[in-house]
Amino acid sequence: MSLVWYPPELPRPERAPYQVTRGDGRTRRAEDAGPPNVRRRFSAVANTVSFSTVLTRAELARFDRWFDEEIKQGTQPFLMPAWDTDGLPLLTDDGTPLTTEDGTPILIAETWLCLIGQQMPARAPSSPGSVQWRVSFDIAVMP
């Protein structure tokens, strides 16, 4: 079985609700006095990404087909670019972009292995009377 990609023809996520939350692999035990005892419970935990994008009706149909058929209503893993870093130029310490010999900037390529998180995709009109749809869901980024 090969992994499917989040459809590249769909627009990037919105910046406003986009948020990456680190997973918590710790366990805590309350003590009689003093601070709680904290230790590592898991060696690897998934991060959660709050994802929202605005789609046209045609893009929404493509999203629905991807969700229903390609990732089996959120039960199959998929690949997705790391929206906050993928495609950005690689920089030196002083902020200068690194380039190849011919001057082409070297871009960061980062891919996430994902599952649909706790919040399943929800859709709503992007604004009253709009023909666009806002689709929001959580993504669990595997370690």
**Whether residue 29 has pLDDT greater than 80:** no
Residue with the larger pLDDT of the pair 122 and 16 = 122
Q: Model's pTM, two decimal places?
A: 0.79
- In order of their start, the domains of the chain are 4-82+112-141 (2.40.30)
Q: How far apart are CA 55 and CA 131, in angstroms?
A: 9
Q: With cut-offs at 50, 70 and 90, classify the pLDDT of residue 13.
A: confident
Average pLDDT, whole number, for the chain? 88
- Please determine, for residue 16, whether its predicted confidence score (pLDDT) is greater than 80: no
Q: pLDDT (tens digit, 9 = 90+) per residue, 53-84?
A: 999 999 999 999 999 999 999 999 999 999 88
Phi, psi of 77 (to 5 degrees): -70, 160
Which residues, other chains included, contact 41 with Cβ-Cβ below 8 Å and sequence gap of 6+? Answer: 25, 26, 27
Answer yes or no: are the C-beta atoms of 78 and 63 closer than 8 Å.
no
Q: Which residues contact 100 (CB under 8 A, 6 or more apart)?
A: 106
pLDDT for the residue 1: 64
